[in-house]
């Protein structure tokens, strides 16, 4: 059986790269061959060529100066090497070859910013219900993608998806999922599928990524 290679982004931490074990395990459980990607921006195009699909994982907060805004003082900025790498991946995806992509939490936010969108950098300042989204809690989402409960842990959210389309929101209006209708599978979700019990909003999203990746030429 040939399993598609699924590149999973990671954090550079001290002397090692750190990836979410539950997310990597979910890729394997769903039938993919997970590969943790070092943050090497100059290799982004090669990663896109070799991998059948990409999973942009969760993490800390985007550094916003490159998007025309100062980084909020309450933000927890990601390592600049990771941000440069993931934006290079998105550039490479835009240039081709086309690959299925699933962005999780930070991954979705970077997808939206790359598409020309905007980010609320600190929900506790602007949203009375910000606590619903923080603290590793569950809350309801609804929309075209599905209706159900998801596991959430974020203090930032897209306010404008740019060229992407919103396909799920929380009851308080927070953008919860976006997609690119011009691609077969280019999906970002604000929640964590690897910690979401509802399979439609958890494991099935990773299964869909792998099903689309299986149609690509590169398998392992």
Q: Residue 63 is part of a domain; what is its CATH number?
A: 3.40.50.880
- 106-115, 126-135, 172-181: which range is least confident on average? 126-135
Q: Is the confidence at residue 136, as pLDDT, over 90? A: no
Asked if residue 220 is part of any domain, the answer here is no
Tokens 């939490």 correspond to 105
When divided into structural domains, the chain yields a total of: 1
Domain that holds residue 56: 5-214
Beta carbons within 10 angstroms of residue 25's beta carbon: 12
Q: What is the mean pLDDT of residues 128-141?
A: 91
Asked if residue 219 is part of any domain, the answer here is no
Beta carbons within 10 angstroms of residue 81's beta carbon: 14
SS3 content of the chain, % helix, strand, coil (to 5): 35, 25, 40
pLDDT tens sequence across 141-183: 999 999 999 999 999 999 999 999 999 999 999 999 999 999 9
- Residue 13's pLDDT is 82
Q: Which H helix or E strand runs over 168? A: strand 165-169
Say how far apart CA 118 and CA 136 lie, in whole Å. Answer: 24
Asked whether 6 and 208 are in contact (CB, 8 A), the reply is no
Q: What percent of the chain has pLDDT over 70?
A: 98
Asked if residue 98 is part of any domain, the answer here is yes
Asked if residue 27 is part of any domain, the answer here is yes
- Residue 218's pLDDT is 44
Asked if residue 134 is part of any domain, the answer here is yes
- Residue 14's pLDDT is 80
Name the H helices within the chain: 21-29, 44-50, 80-95, 106-114, 123-126, 203-214
* Farthest CA pair distance, the chain: 50
pLDDT tens sequence across 52-94: 999 999 999 999 999 999 999 999 999 999 999 999 999 999 9
Say how far apart CA 118 and CA 48 lie, in whole Å. Answer: 25
Q: What is the mean pLDDT of residues 4-30?
A: 94
- Residue 1's pLDDT is 60
Asked if residue 201 is part of any domain, the answer here is yes
Per-position b or e across 33-63, b if 16+ CB within 10 A of its CB: bbbebebebebbbebbeebbbbbbbbbbbbb
Asked if residue 128 is part of any domain, the answer here is yes
Task: Report the mean per-residue pLDDT for the chain.
Answer: 95
């Amino acid at each position: 059986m040939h399993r598609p290679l699924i590149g999973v982004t990671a954090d550079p931490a001290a002397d090692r790269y750190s990836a979410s074990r539950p997310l990597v395990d979910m890729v394997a459980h769903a039938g993919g061959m997970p590969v943790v990607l070092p943050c090497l921006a100059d290799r982004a195009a090669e990663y896109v060529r070799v991998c059948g699909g990409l999973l942009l994982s969760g993490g800390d907060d985007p550094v916003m100066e490159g998007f025309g805004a100062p980084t909020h003082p309450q933000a927890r900025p990601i390592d600049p090497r990771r941000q440069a790498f993931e934006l290079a991946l998105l550039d490479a995806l835009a240039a081709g070859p086309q690959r299925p992509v699933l962005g999780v939490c930070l991954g979705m936010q970077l997808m939206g910013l790359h598409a020309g969108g905007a980010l609320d950098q600190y929900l506790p300042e602007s949203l009375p219900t910000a606590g619903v989204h923080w603290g590793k809690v569950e809350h309801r989402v609804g929309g075209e993608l599905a209706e159900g409960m998801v596991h959430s842990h974020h203090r930032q959210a897209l306010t404008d998806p740019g060229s992407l389309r919103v396909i799920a929101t929380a009851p308080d209006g927070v953008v919860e999922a976006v997609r690119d209708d011009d691609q077969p599978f280019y999906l970002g979700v604000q929640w964590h599928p690897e910690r979401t019990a509802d399979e439609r909003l958890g494991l099935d999203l990773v299964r869909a990524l792998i099903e689309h990746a299986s149609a690509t030429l590169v398998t392992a």
